[in-house]
Structure 1
Amino acid sequence: MRHKVAGKKFNRSASHRKAMFRNMAKSMIEHESIRTTEIRAKELRRVVEKLVTLALKNDVPARRQAYKVLGSHTLVKRLFDDIGPRFAGVPGGYTRVVKMGQPRNGDAAPMAIIEFTREAAAAVEEAPKAAEEKKTEE
């Protein structure tokens, strides 16, 4: 029985599974959207949302914890400077999993796209609107 055992094993060893999710998290932060199987996307969501929560703290220990997962200073900088501020004041739900209609060729695995809920362009557009509202109030 698997009582209180969280996460899927994916028929891999623990180290292989950890490496797989680290690589997928790196790609997710670099490209902001990746295509993978539904089950992997749902499990990746747990990893990426924890990283975004660390980015909202924006202190040195949080950056070090994010570096342990990402292993790249440029990705940590992108996470904390670009992605984290988009979700300021948002209590959760930083990613969405969109199921694709077409299964994968070869094994017919159900595919999905995992992406951030707020896109970079939307965050850039909201900033000038907030500045305009502030000017009108004065």
Structure 2
Amino acid sequence: MPTPTKGPRLGGSPAHQRLILANLAQSLFEHGKITTTEAKARRLRPYAEQLITKAKLDTVANRRLVVKVIRDKSVLHTLFTEIGPAMATRPGGYTRITKIGPRKGDNAPMAVIEIVEAQEFGAQNQAPKKKAATAAPVEETPAEETVTDEVVADETATSDPDVVSEPDAEETLDTEAPATDEPASDEPAKEESSDKE
């Protein structure tokens, strides 16, 4: 017979405590962070971290062990495809407990338990993902734009031979601009001014 935990149990009976922890773990994996009492958060932390450790290696045996606790298939899928691989390089410490003020009704000490870097797991009520914010902006090359403009001009020219297309304003400006014979640098201009003196 397993030895019961010392001290008062959450919910009164071992079966009820097991269900409370399973529901808290499922909510934690679904939302990324939850607000609960400090006692429940402290009891949930090792329980959830054992499940994440099993989810790091996606095998049939590990899935069967975790499905005993996490009954929702979408949460189970999230745990094995997103949370587990994201924690593959971490040796432990997957969750963080932050104490907040007491609850208004009964003055119970409250805490927020969250998965470390929970923004990466696509939580619905979370801020945008950190990876998307830190990614470098994609630079557009002007060479691609000119190629597409030439392709469009070629298509319009070959599509209907009866229609005469007028050149664009930019093309007319480029062709009509007179060539200037200005010196490339300021040094020859300075030499001419020094000769005049």
TM-score (norm 1): 0.81
Kindly provide the CA deviation profile for residues 23-59 of structure 1, in whole angstroms up to 9, marking residues without a partner as x: 1111101101000001110110111101100111211
Confirm or deny: 8 A CA contact 1:86 1:118 kept in the other structure.
Answer: no
2:33 is the counterpart of 1:37: no
SS of residue paired to 1:40: helix
Q: 1:7 to 1:65 in 2, by over 3 A?
A: farther
The residue number in structure 1 matching 2:126 is: none
AA aligned opposite 1:112: A
SS of residue paired to 1:111: strand
Q: Shift of the alpha carbon at 1:72?
A: 2.0
SS of residue paired to 2:20: helix
Q: 1:8 to 1:54 in 2, by over 3 A?
A: farther
The residue number in structure 2 matching 1:54 is: 54
| Superposed counterparts of 1:49-88, under 5 Å | 49-88=49-88
AA aligned opposite 2:27: S
How many matched pairs?
124
Confirm or deny: 8 A CA contact 2:10 2:20 kept in the other structure.
Answer: no
AA aligned opposite 2:107: A
Higher RCO (CA 8 Å, separation ≥ 6 residues): 1
Confirm or deny: 8 A CA contact 1:87 1:118 kept in the other structure.
Answer: no
Distance (Å, rounded) in 2 between the aligned partners of 1:118 and 1:63: 23
Question: Which ranges of structure 2 fall in alignment gaps of 5 or more residues?
Answer: 121-128, 137-197
SS of residue paired to 2:24: helix
SS of residue paired to 2:105: coil
Confirm or deny: 8 A CA contact 2:10 2:16 kept in the other structure.
Answer: no
The residue number in structure 1 matching 2:183 is: none
Q: 1:117 to 1:8 in 2, by over 3 A?
A: farther
Q: Shift of the alpha carbon at 1:106?
A: 2.0
The residue number in structure 1 matching 2:103 is: 104
AA aligned opposite 2:102: P
Give the helix-richer structure, 1 or 2: 1
AA aligned opposite 1:38: E
AA aligned opposite 2:9: K
Structure 1 stretches of at least 4 aligned residues deviating more than 3 Å after TM superposition: 4-8
Q: 1:84 to 1:6 in 2, by over 3 A?
A: farther
The residue number in structure 1 matching 2:150 is: none
AA aligned opposite 2:68: K
AA aligned opposite 2:87: F
Confirm or deny: 8 A CA contact 1:99 1:111 kept in the other structure.
Answer: yes
SS of residue paired to 2:102: coil
Query: Which entry has the higher C-alpha Rg, 1 or 2?
Result: 2
Distance (Å, rounded) in 2 between the aligned partners of 1:9 and 1:43: 10
Confirm or deny: 8 A CA contact 2:28 2:114 kept in the other structure.
Answer: yes
> Percent identity among equivalent residues?
38
Question: Which ranges of structure 1 fall in alignment gaps of 5 or more residues?
Answer: 130-138
TM-score (norm 2): 0.58
- Superposed CA RMSD in Å reads 2.3
